[in-house]
Structure 1
Amino acid sequence: MRASRLVTLLLLLQNRGRLTARQLADELEVSVRTVYRDVEALAAAGIPLYGEAGHAGGYRLVDGYRTRLTGLTADEAQAAFLAALPGTAAELGLGEALATARLKLRAALPAELRAHADRIQERFLLDAPGWYGDADRTPHLTAVADAVWARRALLLRYRRWRAPEEISRRVEPYGLVLKAGRWYLVAGGPSGIRTYRVDQILELTCLGEEFTLPPGFSLPAYWTAHLADFHSRLHTGHALVRLTPEGARRLGVPPEGAWTRARIPIESLDHAHGEFLRLGTDVEVLEPPELRTRLAATARTLAARYAG
């Protein structure tokens, strides 16, 4: 633990220049006295650093000195691939490793590229989840990620949308996918390869049984095919509608005048009912008759409710 802290202290000085003992203590989450001892240990090991007294003082490295101790650990290497998503790294238990990896990566860059990296960090931020709704609670995410990494089988108690709503299943976790702020587990099981929402895992037991991936399995290729299949099953019908210019704009349909007729793919009557209600008076559903009847009944109910 102390060796890692000494490396971090050295990289902080290399990256930022002069830092006071208090600043180093705050960064390392240790006492100032511990910083004094660590600085003495680095000096005894031959690291050319020195301290300056006074209001503008602090510790710094001799000008021109750069450590070559920038090799990444296994956890840091994993975290580096998630550098654009610090929240994601934290969810997987790699937040501290990511912070150290960034220090090491920055220390390894020439001054010009280091300044460029700083500008990127200052000006760009990726926040993947949507605006509405709280983030899904995924208490079992770290355990699932560990099983994926170690290639160990899991026993899941899982909640699904169709009956029976709760199932127990032995699975072999092949990979994790983060889609629109939600984690999905791709795993092999008795019915082949399936996708499970991690936030719907109710209970998890690591079985300790090792497994091997099926020959030729590719997580990106599987996920691409899974999405294509999902979208092919998503829109199973169509609705014929009339749209105002505003309605056409909101649905991405080229307007043709005061009213535009368009055939819109729909997932189901229930889903279409809710989606078209959001358009209010900017849409009139002509077909299918069942959808038109349901919308008319909802409109009558709303009119009666607000009449008083």
Structure 2
Amino acid sequence: MRSSRLVSILLLLQTRGRMTAAQLAEELEVSVRTVYRDVEALGAAGVPLYGDAGHAGGYRLLDGWRTRLTGLTTGEAEALFLAGAPGPAADLGLGPVLAAAQLKVRAALPPELRAHADRISGRFHLDAPGWYADGEEAPYLPAVADAVWNSRVLHVRYRRWAEPTDADRRLEPYGLVLKAGRWYVVAGPGPRTFRVDQILELTVPGAEFTRPDDFDLAAYWTAYQRDFHDRLFSAEALVRLAPGVTLPRAEPVGTTAALPRATPAGTADAWTLARVPVESADRAVAEFLRLGTDIEVLGPPELRERIARTVAELAERYGNAEPDGGH
């Protein structure tokens, strides 16, 4: 455990430069006292690491000193090659860069770790998009990524859902997020979230912006998803479910007697009362009807009436043995 932490301190200082004991402690989730002891151990082992006192002080490595990947464990080497998703890297125009980086890392690994890395690459393949993804292209993704990296302002024409559908926007791109095979750019002012594949035109006027120091992309995205979920499922239905039947997001609130006409002969198990968040009437009707007689919607009344009308229309449509135009 301690040896792994010592390697982490070296890599943090090597990649980030000067860091205070408090910053290292927060990053490693240990006490400042533990950091002091680890730094002393590194110094005793001959690592050229020194600290400066004062408000602008901290620890740093001697200029030009670099550590090797000798601290990499088997699991870390496997995870490194598993995480190197070629698809997203190619989308960003970094496919050859990723391949070159993996080649260099692989060459630096000891033989036993290299074998594990080869096994993980040959046995696991990551394909993030779902089966029914639309596969929209995002031709402006490399330009957006370059603007994110260099803090460049973007002027875009963006297609949105509301009227007017095409709108001009000035964006200060803070970061990119890949979600289920689709790229999103998080941009100020706001910040707000935009789908990159909905950008119709893009220009880079050359102006720079200052990214907020306290902006945390991962924390923003977590909050954004939570808010999106809350807004998406803004209504609720009360349903009765047959024994053994489940629905995503359903919260059981009790049981009720079996429905005589819907229960197979010889079974008298109680049905489950549950509350189910729903996105819209259309989606709720489609989701509930697929369960057939294994569900009864008790409320709200307008949803129950909507399902009753749909079932009546289906019964009328399929009441005749022959369809119109049949033989």
TM-score above 0.5: yes
Deviation, structure 1 residue 282: 2.4
Q: Say yes or no: does 1:193 pair with 2:191.
A: yes
Superposed counterparts of 1:1-308, under 5 Å: 83-189=83-189, 192-248=190-246, 257-308=269-320
1:22-69: CA deviations, max 9, x gaps? Answer: xxxxxxxxxxxxxxxxxxxxxxxxxxxxxxxxxxxxxxxxxxxxxxxx
User: Quick check: 1:248–1:260 contact (8 Å CA) kept in 2?
Assistant: no
Q: Matched residues in 1 for 2:208 and 2:124: separation?
A: 41
Q: Matched residues in 2 for 1:253 and 1:221: separation?
A: 28
Question: Number of matched residues?
Answer: 229
Deviation, structure 1 residue 289: 0.7
Deviation, structure 1 residue 259: 2.2
Paired AA for residue 110 in structure 1: P
1:191-216: CA deviations, max 9, x gaps? Answer: x2110011111111112111111231
Deviation, structure 1 residue 153: 0.6
> Normalization by structure 2: what TM-score?
0.64
User: Quick check: 1:82–1:88 contact (8 Å CA) kept in 2?
Assistant: no
User: Quick check: 2:236–2:276 contact (8 Å CA) kept in 1?
Assistant: yes
User: Quick check: 1:244–1:259 contact (8 Å CA) kept in 2?
Assistant: yes
Q: Matched residues in 1 for 2:82 and 2:168: separation?
A: 31
Q: Matched residues in 2 for 1:141 and 1:82: separation?
A: 23
Percent same amino acid at aligned positions?
A: 63
1:33 is aligned to none
Q: 1:246 to 1:202 in 2, by over 3 A?
A: farther
Deviation, structure 1 residue 113: 0.3
1:148-189: CA deviations, max 9, x gaps? Answer: 111111111111112222110111011000111111110003
User: Quick check: 2:81–2:102 contact (8 Å CA) kept in 1?
Assistant: no
Secondary structure of the equivalent of 1:183?
Answer: strand
Unpaired stretches in structure 2, ≥5 consecutive residues? 1-68, 70-79, 256-268, 321-327
Paired AA for residue 304 in structure 1: E
Unpaired stretches in structure 1, ≥5 consecutive residues? 1-69, 71-79
Deviation, structure 1 residue 127: 1.4
Q: Matched residues in 1 for 2:310 and 2:84: separation?
A: 45
> Normalization by structure 1: what TM-score?
0.68
Q: Matched residues in 1 for 2:301 and 2:156: separation?
A: 43
Q: Matched residues in 2 for 1:171 and 1:200: separation?
A: 14
Deviation, structure 1 residue 221: 1.4
